A and B are shown apart, each in its own frame.
Chain A
């Protein structure tokens, strides 16, 4: 059984690709066969975050147009046996993607034994974003605790509920939707400068699968081409590991949402 998971957000720069890469690694590290697909046609980036940019020979559009086989286009991760990357096309126009083509590709991957297919959506609500979410069984909406990101997320939730395969079939169950908050700063939430997890959850009305703290580790990881979840010393990695566990059905308390306790002196005179 294959589960198709779209990582989406509406707004750009909130951490979709970082999240896609980390969730894919996390699932694969637990022994699942995972493929992660970059749907951002024209603006390939997942390969850089995954650190396989120099091994891209064929891409998504090559497979759809029959210029190579799926096997040739899937890039096998060097760190995790069961993880594969399908890069976005760099040069072709967006019309190269069609609903029928994407369906055939996903069916072939499913027949090939992939347990999870992570679709890294482009920003916006255009064709690439639409196709990334269309066949999804589950959606992870990446959101920053910030007004424009939250509003765009609500727009995406509306599209998930109306413009997807599951929404269009009368007999199928709805897409499972989750929020994943990134760039969360417990300190700024405590001082009232940033909306809390509870605030965002209340506005959008769906459950939270993970809260990833703001951290310089994320930039360091993308600089190196190592998905952040592989940095065992980082709280960001721990937060993504928790999200992976929840994806797999575990119930865990949310970590990294409260400010570390300070002594009274630090509170009065602290930074």
Chain B
């Protein structure tokens, strides 16, 4: 460290780490507490969808919610703007 460090402060790796963790932890929490098959279900669905559309691994969101005593499994798939067929 020294004089140069004063100018280097802007590119902080810690803030990159924090941002990456914020995203992955939020994603992993959506399947927390749900049945153990949810991550596998998510992965297999992704594989099937990818046969037809080139979607991003983050494009599938699975939510399991408890509404008035029954569970609702909600799937949302974000398709890319120009889907390759």
Contact = CB atoms under 8 A, between A and B. Distances in A.
Contact of B15 (A154, A192, A203, A270): A192
A189 B18 CA distance: 12
Contacts of A195: 14, 17-18
A201 B3 CA distance: 31
A154 B18 contact: no
B82 interface: no
Nearest to A146: B17
Interface of A: 145-147, 150-151, 154-155, 158, 161-162, 189, 191-196, 199, 202-204, 268-271
A74 B68 CA distance: 51
Contacts of A196: 14
Interface in B5-21: 5, 8-9, 11-15, 17-18, 20-21
Contact of A161 (B3, B18, B21, B33): B33
B5 A203 contact: no
A264 to B, nearest CB: 11
A193 B1 CA distance: 12
Nearest to A195: B14
B2 A270 contact: yes
A203 B14 CA distance: 13
Top 9 closest pairs, chain A to chain B, by CB: A192-B12, A158-B32, A199-B18, A195-B14, A154-B25, A203-B21, A147-B17, A192-B14, A162-B33
Contact of A193 (B13, B18, B21, B24): B13
A64 to B, nearest CB: 28
Interface residues of B, number: 22
B2 A269 contact: yes
A150 B21 contact: yes
Contacts of A194: 14
Contacts of B18: 195, 199, 202-203
Contact of B14 (A193, A204, A269): A193
A262 to B, nearest CB: 10
B2 A268 contact: yes
B22 interface: yes
Contacts of A151: 21, 24-25, 28
A154 B9 CA distance: 29
B29 interface: yes
A151 B3 CA distance: 34
Given A193-B13, A203-B22, A271 B1 contact: yes
A151 B17 CA distance: 11
Contacts of A158: 28-29, 32-33
A150 B26 CA distance: 13
B13 A147 contact: no
Interface string B38-75: 00000000000000000000000000000000000000
A191 B9 contact: yes
6 contacts: A154-B29, A192-B11, A192-B12, A192-B15, A195-B14, A203-B21
Contacts of A193: 12-14
Contact of B21 (A147, A155, A269): A147
B13 A154 contact: no
